[in-house]
Each structure stands twice: as structure tokens, then as C-alpha cells.
Amino acid sequence: MSKSSYALYHKVHCPYCRQVIAAMETSNVTLELRDTEKNLAFNKELIEQGGKKQVPCLKITENGQESWLYESGDIINYLNKIA
């Protein structure tokens, strides 16, 4: 059985981030929300591990492997797939 966790790097005033959060709520997928403006450690982690400062970004951890998914449309499609 795989163990998966998800963290969404976002900014409160980003319309694309709000779209992803709304999709998360309708799909009933639980994401940890990481505000990159309120917590600079999240911003640093996004840049260093994800490779760029762009939000929204979904960090996907499955069986100890991490992947980073950018673009709100791609993230929403992923959430719908796993819901």
C-alpha cells in the first residue's frame, strides 16, 4: 500500500492558487497548505527543491519519492484523478 501526501505551495492573493484550493475542497483531497508569503521557509523550500518560485505548486510525496507539479490546470486535473 502506497503512502501519499500532498502540499500546495500558494499565495493568498493568487487567483490560480484560489482555483486549486477550490478544486481541492470539491474533490475532498487533503492538501497541506503552505503559504510562501507568510512563511519564507516554504518559499525557500519551493525554490530549492521544486526548482522555481512559481505558485501554485503541488508537492507530491509517494513512497518516499517527491515530485513537483506546476500549473493550476495540471494540478486540478491531478486532484480530480486521485479523488
**Terminal alpha carbon distance of the chain:** 17
- pTM for the full predicted model: 0.94
Q: What is the DSSP string of 25-79?
A: HHHT---EEEETTT-HHHHHHIIIIISS--SSEEEEEETTEEEEEESHHHHHHHH
Nearest one of 76, 55, 47, 49 to 9, comparing CA atoms = 55
Tens digit of pLDDT for each residue in 23-34?
A: 999 988 889 999
Question: Each residue of 36-66: pLDDT tens digit?
Answer: 999 999 999 999 999 999 999 999 999 989 9
Which of the residue ranges 5-14, 24-33, 73-82 would you say has the lowest mean pLDDT?
24-33
At residue 39, the pLDDT reads 97
